[in-house]
Amino acid sequence: MSDHFQEIYDRLFARFGPQQWWPGETPLEVMVGAVLTQNTNWQNVEKAIENLKEAGLLSFQALLELPTAELAWQIKPSGYYNIKAGRLHNLLQMIAERYEGELDLLLAQSTADARQALLSVKGVGPETADSILLYAGGHPTFVVDSYTHRIFSRHQLVDEVTDYHSIQDRFHDQLPLDSRLFNEYHALIVAAAKTYCKKKNPDCDHCPLNGI
């Protein structure tokens, strides 16, 4: 396992340019998007968030007071809408009970404390928690997704059989703990993944990291 993580970032940035993530105007919108995008493409999430905006429901209090069944109806285009409505309500209730309904108070804590609070919510796993920490709170924690595992294991930069935090540890060890770097890096991996061949072929020309 070589330490090419910075070089890979540079190569991806040179090829794809700045990605301007996260597409959300407020920390609350980022948090909602982070739950809605679980195993779902972003286009569908945009439809769901647009529904909430048009209904005037994209505020903490409105979402908290909205019955779960109605929330589910609003976010229907994002798929898994019953599950996600429950998960969002779990999150909102935790923030209401422990942080006076202020997401910013949660995010103002240390990365470790904020992460623990997010992970205590049923429906918030490591990727969703890190997405909220990084993209809503500016915390320097790397967001690992299935693309990260697929691409980096294909190039033998992480083990093929590994877990979320082992991969995350590699990024945290190999790179400066810089939220702007982690922000762009994760987004670049998503951009790169879309151009990769589906069949493993490290030598193809158009796959972004061939030759690494």
Partner DNA sequence: CACCAGGCAAGTA
Partner DNA sequence: TACTTGCATGGT
In the list 101, 126, 138, 140, the residue contacting DNA (rule: CB under 7 A) is 126
- Give 199: exposed, middle or buried? Use CB within 10 Å, 0-12, 13-18, 19+: exposed
Contact segment (CB under 7 A) with DNA among 57-65, 109-117, 192-200, 201-209 equals 192-200
Residue (of 121, 123, 139) closest to 186 by Cα position = 139
Q: What is the 3-state secondary structure (H, E, C) of 136-164?
A: HCCCCCCCCCHHHHHHHHHCCCCCCCCCH
Q: Does residue number 162 form part of the binding site for DNA (CB under 7 A)?
A: no
Residue of the chain from 106, 129, 136, 207 that contacts DNA (CB under 7 A): 129
Q: Is 198 in the site for DNA (CB under 7 A)?
A: yes
Nearer to DNA, 4 or 76 (CB): 76
Instruction: Pick from 59, 61, 146, 210 the residue near DNA by CB under 7 A.
Output: 146
Q: Which is nearer to DNA, 61 or 68 (CB)?
A: 68
Place of tokens 């240390």: 110
Stretch that binds DNA, among 95-103, 105-113, 169-177, 189-197 (CB under 7 A): 189-197
CA dihedral 122→123→128→134, nearest 10 degrees, is -40
**Over the range 81-110, which residues count as b (16 or more CB within 10 Å of their CB) and which as e?**
beebbbbbbbbbebbeeebeeebeebbeee
Residue 81 or 99 having the CB closest to DNA: 81
42 vs 202 by CB, closer to DNA: 42
3 state DSSP class of 46: helix
* 25 lies in the binding site for DNA (CB under 7 A): no
- Chain positions 85 to 114 lying near DNA, rule: CB under 7 A, are none
Written as six digits, the tokens of 92 are: 């909102």
List interacting residues with DNA (CB under 7 A).
21-23, 33-34, 37-44, 47, 76-77, 79-84, 121-129, 131, 135, 145-147, 164, 190, 193-194, 198
